Amino acid sequence: MISPETLVFGVLAALGLISMVATFMAVMERDLLKAVLFSAVQSTAYAFMFYILMAPDILLVYVPVAVGLYPAVILFLIKKTERFEGGEEE
Amino acid sequence: MRRAYKYAVLVAMIVSTLALALAVSAGGLGYALPFPAVRNLAYWYLRTTYNPFMPKFTASAPEAVTAIVWDYRGLDTLFETSVFFLAIIASMALMRGIEVKAPKSINLSKYGMSAIVKTVTKITVAIILAASASIALHGQLTPGGGFQGGATAAVAPLVIIVIFSLYFAVSSGIKKKSMLTLRTLGLLGIGVTSFAVIVAGLILGKAAYVFQNQPKEAAPIGFPSHILGVPMGGTLLFFNIFEFLAVAAGFTIVFLLLSVPEESVRKVLEGGEGHD
CA dihedral A18, A71, B184, B60 (to 10 degrees): -20
Considering B27-36, B147-156, B170-179, the range whose residues carry the highest mean pLDDT is B147-156
- Per-residue pLDDT at B71: 86
What's the pLDDT at A81?
84
Domain count, chain B: 1
In order, the DSSP letters of B95-164 are TTT----PPSS--GGGSSS-HHHHHHHHHHHHHHHHHHHHHHHTTTTSS--HHHHHHHHHHHHHHHHHHH
Residue A42, domain member (yes or no): yes
Contacts of B143 in chain A (CB under 8 A): 56-57, 59-60
Mean pLDDT for the stretch of residues B262-273: 75
> Domain of B80?
67-270
The total number of structural domains in chain A stands at: 1
Of B17, B151, B265, the CB nearest to A64: B151
Cβ-Cβ contacts under 8 Å, B14 against chain A: 17, 20-21
The whole-number pLDDT of residue A18 equals 93
pLDDT of A90 > 60? The answer is: no
Quick check: is B135 in a domain?
yes
Q: What's the mean per-residue pLDDT of chain B?
A: 85
CB contact under 8 A, B10 and A64: no
A60 part of a folded domain: yes
CA distance B74 to B67: 9
Mapping DSSP to helix (H, G, I), strand (E, B) and coil, where does residue B54 land? coil
- The answer on pLDDT for B230 being more than 80 is no
User: By mean pLDDT, which of B95-109, B130-144, B201-215, B248-262 is the weakest?
Assistant: B95-109
The whole-model pTM stands at: 0.86
Question: Which value, in Å, is the radius of gyration of the alpha carbons in chain A?
Answer: 16
Answer yes or no: is pLDDT of B102 > 80: no
Q: What is the pLDDT of residue A89?
A: 52
Task: Identify the CA nearest to B243 among candidates B93, B160, B131, B135.
Answer: B135
Look at residue B106 and tell me whether its pLDDT is greater than 80. no
Nearest Cα residue in chain A from B22: A13
Closest to A66 measured CA to CA, from A25, A23, A10: A23
pLDDT for the residue numbered A88: 52
Q: Is B155 on the interface with A (CB under 8 A)?
A: yes
Chain Cα centroid distance, residue B86: 14
Query: pLDDT-derived band of residue B155, with 50, 70 and 90 as boundaries?
Result: very high
Phi, psi of B230 (to 5 degrees): -100, 135
In B, which residues are within 8 Å of A77 by CB distance? Answer: 258
For residue A89, tell me if it sits in a domain. no
Do the beta carbons of residue B133 and residue B149 sit within 8 Å?
yes
Note down the domain range covering A13.
4-80
B233 touches chain A (CB under 8 A): no
Q: With contacts defined as CB-CB under 8 Å, which chain B residues touch A57?
A: 65-66, 143-145, 148
Q: Tell me the chain A residues in contact with residue B66 when contact means C-beta distances shorter than 8 Å.
A: 57
pLDDT above 80: residue B103 = no
With CB atoms and an 8 Å threshold, state whether B155 touches A64. Answer: yes
Amino acid at A30: R
Residue of A nearest to B244 (CA): A61
pLDDT given for residue B144 in this prediction: 85
Span B101-107, mean pLDDT? 75
H/E segment holding residue B72 = none
Residues A48-70 pLDDT 10s: 999 998 888 889 989 999 988 89
